[in-house]
Structure 1
Amino acid sequence: MERSVGPGMSTTGSTPDADETCAYCESPIFAHDPICVRDCDDDCGSPAYFCNYACLSAYVDERGLPAGNACEWSPEE
């Protein structure tokens, strides 16, 4: 499956193994609502699978991943 993710960019996805576990809580992902995430700033490395958005959010927060990754806005500008 080829999916466009931006101008000139694409990624290939495949269905994970039936016994794939969540990168955060290690539960079987297909027992929930799975999410696949790739770091496409680094050659779209191996995917990380999460069983739901709560685990993805906790994973991101605990690792401080949003820090410095967003545009800065100031009401004075």
Structure 2
Amino acid sequence: MSSTATTPDADETCAYCESRIFEHDPVCVRDCTADCGSPTYFCNYACLSAYIDANDLSTGDACNWSPE
């Protein structure tokens, strides 16, 4: 599996707050479990975290840990 890194457009906006990503510290996220779909851009980690929380994306995706 391979993917190509490209620079987004200068006017690319954040998937969460719709700010221009290059006015901040941008983060690019791809779901590579299914064909490495189109990248999703966030202006910073705070927006990425808020997006994850708002869309319940972490529910059921964590490993189960037991001290035993």
- What range describes the TM-score normalised by the shorter chain of this pair? over 0.9
Q: Normalising by structure 2, report the TM-score.
A: 0.92
Q: Are 1:64 and 2:66 matched, yes or no?
A: no
Q: Normalising by structure 1, report the TM-score.
A: 0.82
Aligned to 2:15: 23
Q: Are 1:35 and 2:27 matched, yes or no?
A: yes
What 5-or-longer segments of structure 2 have no aligned partner? none
Give the total of aligned pairs. 68
Alpha-carbon distance between aligned partners in 1 of 2:53 and 2:7, rounded to the nearest angstrom: 26
Aligned to 1:45: 37
Once the two structures are TM-superposed, the CA of residue 10 in structure 1 deviates from its matched residue by: 3.2
Larger radius of gyration: 1
Larger relative contact order (C-alpha < 8 A, sep ≥ 6)?
Answer: 2
Alpha-carbon distance between aligned partners in 2 of 1:63 and 1:41, rounded to the nearest angstrom: 18
Alpha-carbon distance between aligned partners in 2 of 1:41 and 1:61, rounded to the nearest angstrom: 20
Which stretches of structure 1, 4 residues or more, deviate above 3 A after TM superposition? none
Larger relative strand fraction: 1
RMSD over aligned Cα, in angstroms?
1.0
